[in-house]
Amino acid sequence: MSIKISNGVEIADWQYVLTAIRAQGAGGQNVNKVSSAIHLRFDIKSSTLPAFYKQRLLALSDHRITADGVIIIKAQQHRTQEKNRQDVLLRLKALILEATVIQKKRRATKATKSSQRRRMDKKTLRGKTKNLRNKHIDY
């Protein structure tokens, strides 16, 4: 089952390895017998992804990406192996799409003179209001 990332980019099923493992945590007797959790391994460097995608993924500082450039994702939220398999593939797709989003450059802006003046007037007014609350002691 291949994963479609965008119109021209697709990950074939031979590029990732899915392994069924036993899920952790509580679950009664069933948890000790059934391997319902899915472990995904995807090697970024040896994949057929375009160079742009590879660079962006390798530049990410994500705990799921090893130093060797292998993405490791574990899915165990669902009770069935099939749902966990779908979940892990969706999470891989989301990670790749998240890496390729280009953030807009932030332009530093300057507050206008009138907005600065309004802010200072409000601060002065607030200070006067607070000052009126003080108990003035006259001797």
- What confidence score (pLDDT) does residue 25 get? 72
**In the predicted model, what is the mean pLDDT of the chain?**
86
Cα→Cα distances 122→110, 117, 128, 133, 134, Å: 19, 9, 10, 17, 19
Residue that is written with structure tokens 């994500």 in the block: 62
The model's pTM:
0.68
pLDDT < 70 positions in the chain = 26-32, 137-139
- Whose CA is closest to 90, among 14, 8, 11, 7? 11
19-53 tens-digit pLDDT? 888 877 766 666 667 778 889 999 888 888 888 88
Per CATH, the number for 3-100 is 3.30.160.20
